[in-house]
Structure 1
Amino acid sequence: MKVIALEEHMFPRDIIQSANLDFGLRASARVEQLDDVDEGRLQVMDAAGIDVQVLSALGWTVQNLPPARSIDVSRLLNERLASAVGRHPDRFSAFASLPVTDPLAAADELTRTVEELGFVGAMIHGQTRGVFLDHPSMRPILSAAERLEVPLYLHPAPPPPTVMDAYYFDLEPAVAACLSTSGWGWHSETAMHVLRMVVDGVFEELPSLTLIVGHMGEGLPFHLDRIDDMLTPVVTGHSLTVAETLRRNLHLTTSGYVADAPLQCALATFGVEHILFSVDHPFASSTRATTNLRSAPLSERDREQIAHRNAEALLRI
């Protein structure tokens, strides 16, 4: 069975150092694996039975740089991504890194990477200096993605200082760092980010825009009925309900999740056509992820769709 993994991170060590980027406690411990886009990574993929990784720079730090600096670093990252794909064209594809602090430049860079470098979309990490993707200033990026017919992968990012101060200030630092991010906080913030885009009419204006979120939908499948019951009556003037919009415009990946119950919930609420396989390398085990994929209670047709067919259709790879 062919396996394509969509949320697989990289970041060159020399760019971290030259740009003086702070990756925080967890990501800083994975610099060696993030830096490797050659033999070590391929060995991990081979051992797990992964045929293709869609590479993405772990770029929330770059996304929040001042515009001119963010443009330079994003472009450099995209050249490194393109180089990795060029060295291993049968094993890698790529999502672009974008200088979101300058939305017009970000739209230009998305266009360049798709049309000139063959990238399959872009990854955006949460809000940018307090601005979410539903803000009018972000429309150039979203419009470019719709025009180019490529998805945007909305990945979580650490919360802004005001949120850290409100929720996590009195916790032990390592606990606060985890609870505010992968332990809970950034999953719920990403779900809220998606819902902001829905209720603010982004998908009414751009009905063909495709959004991907990881971590089995960031909690949205479990809460979907409640969300629809509460939000749809107060969101006026839309052609679809909140749930209908999500089911049309949102795709989910399995990144970081290797349990059957969340998968069954996602299948029941979004359907197999909207679920794609991911690992979250190097923050999750590739072998554990593929083992779960092969053993999950799925029909072989559904397993093939999640493993590679949905990605091939959505990303045209």
Structure 2
Amino acid sequence: MTEPTPRRYVADFHTHYANPALPALPPPNPAAALADRWTGLARRIADLDDLLGDTRRHDLDLRVLSAPPSLVTPPGRRTSPAELRLLNEHLAQATARAPDRLAGLATVDAFAGESAAEEVTRAVTGLGLPGIVVDCATGDQLLGAPAARPTLAAAARLGVPVFAHPVSTEPLSLAFADLGRFGTSLARGSVTAAALLSLVTEGVLAELPGLHVVFPMLGIAGLALAAAADEGAALTAPPPGADRAHVYVDTMGFAPTAIRFAADLLGADHVLVGSDWPIGQRAASRRRVETALRETGLTPAEADLVAGGNTLRLLGRDAPRGTAGR
């Protein structure tokens, strides 16, 4: 008698949730369509019951929650240490409500030097949060800047992933404003790509081989540029290459060709399902994930990794009995 096919484990790595005391803010100069939606989005980002209900309705196994600093801090101001503690302590309490369904990434101002590294350690070892989320840039500094090195080194030392979230800059968002929501995405994607490339050009990936950093699909241009140069060879080294840089992509949507491109570039073991909930216009659901992965042409084992196995590995979790995830 043949064994039944295990149920595929599906995790959404890119889900937003923030303490209601620090409401989510729209990016600077948002497209009109996004601005019109924002009041409702901010309400959902602060509503844990809504999030859990959505997770059950769409038959997802895990949501990974995050609130990058730029999501909850007005433009031109840095998130204060007290606000970071408020966010992270609330997140630890929120995820404890449904530990099998929820995991949280601590909010960290990566550019705050040693104090940021201390918050990484406190959030991971003290609050039990299994990773961190940072802005990929701030002001004129990209993630490869020296100011961010203590944060990245602390995450590498603790063995937790860093989610490098997109940000908006006023020059780019204004320059692309006529493109509507595509302009907003292009502006944020350009900064994300630059931040990824800064990890290469500043030698961060070579200096911190234990660093695991996740970029949304918006920054895929940075991966393509890096892969075309000798300096980026470590990104595309075949597994388990000892010199392989651990850069991951979250799908930030469900376009099969984009998912396949990322998997071909980095390996299927470095791609994660992510939806940008509730901001993304296509919500994650088991059916949508399964359909997209089937259309990529990945093998079932590779699709299992992308669907949830890679997220489980990054967070240090085991796949539940009866599921295919690792």
For this structure pair, what is the TM-score category when the shorter chain's length is used for normalisation? 0.7 to 0.9
Q: What corresponds to 1:90 in structure 2?
A: 100
1:55-204 aligned within 5 A: 55-62=65-72, 66=77, 70-159=80-169, 161-164=170-173, 167-168=175-176, 171=177, 175=179, 178-182=181-185, 184-204=186-206
Structure 1 residue 51, shift from structure 2 partner? 0.8
Question: Among residues 35, 49, 52, which one is paired with 2:46 in the alignment?
Answer: 35
Change (3 A) 1:291 1:99: same
Query: Cα–Cα, structure 1 residues 207 and 252, in superposed 2: closer, same or farther, change >3 Å?
Result: same
User: Partners in 2 of 1:270 and 1:151 — Cα distance?
Assistant: 16
- 3-state SS, counterpart of residue 102 of structure 1: coil
The answer on whether the counterparts of 1:157 and 1:181 sit within 8 Å (CA) in structure 2 is no
Show structure 1 runs of 5+ residues with no match.
Answer: 233-240
Query: Which letter does structure 2 place at the counterpart of 1:242?
Result: G
What's 2:274 paired with? 278
Higher helix share: 1
For residues 132 and 141 of structure 1, what CA distance do their matches in structure 2 show?
13
- Counterpart AA for 1:316: G
Return the TM-score normalized by structure 2.
0.80
SS of the residue aligned with 1:186? helix
- Cα distance in 2 for partners of 1:267, 1:57 equals 26
| TM-score (ref. length: structure 1) | 0.82
Q: Is the 8 A contact 2:108 2:119 kept in 1?
A: yes
Q: Does 1:205 align with 2:216?
A: no
Aligned Cα root-mean-square deviation (Å): 2.5
Task: Report the CA distance between 1:62 and its aligned residue.
Answer: 4.7
Please tell me the residue identity of whatever aligns with 2:48.
Answer: V
Q: How many residues align?
A: 291
Task: Indicate conservation of the 8 Å contact 1:221/1:265, yes or no.
Answer: no
Instruction: Give the distance between the partners of 1:23 and 1:253, measured in 2 at CA.
Output: 20
* Contact 1:93 1:119 (C-alpha < 8 Å) held by counterparts: yes
Please, which runs of 5 or more residues in structure 2 have no aligned partner?
A: 1-7, 238-244, 318-326
Q: In structure 2, what residue type is equivalent to 1:290?
A: V
Report if aligned partners of 1:126, 1:193 keep a CA contact under 8 Å in 2. Answer: yes
Aligned AA for 2:248? H
Partner residue of 1:13?
20
CA deviations 1:51-88 (Å, max 9, x no partner) are 11110014315566756x52111111111111111111
Structure 2 Cα separation of the partners of residues 298 and 292 of structure 1: 12
Using the aligned pairs only, state the percent identity: 27
Deviations 1:128-152 (A, max 9, x none): 1221222212211111111111111
- Conserved? CA contact 2:236–2:265, under 8 Å: no
Report the Cα offset of residue 163 of structure 1.
4.0
Question: Any idea what SS the aligned residue of 2:80 has?
Answer: helix
Could you report, residue by residue, the CA deviation over 1:146-195 in whole angstroms, capped at 9, with x for unpaired residues?
A: 11111111110111x34446x24xx45xx56x34432x121122111111
Structure 1 partner of 2:298: 298
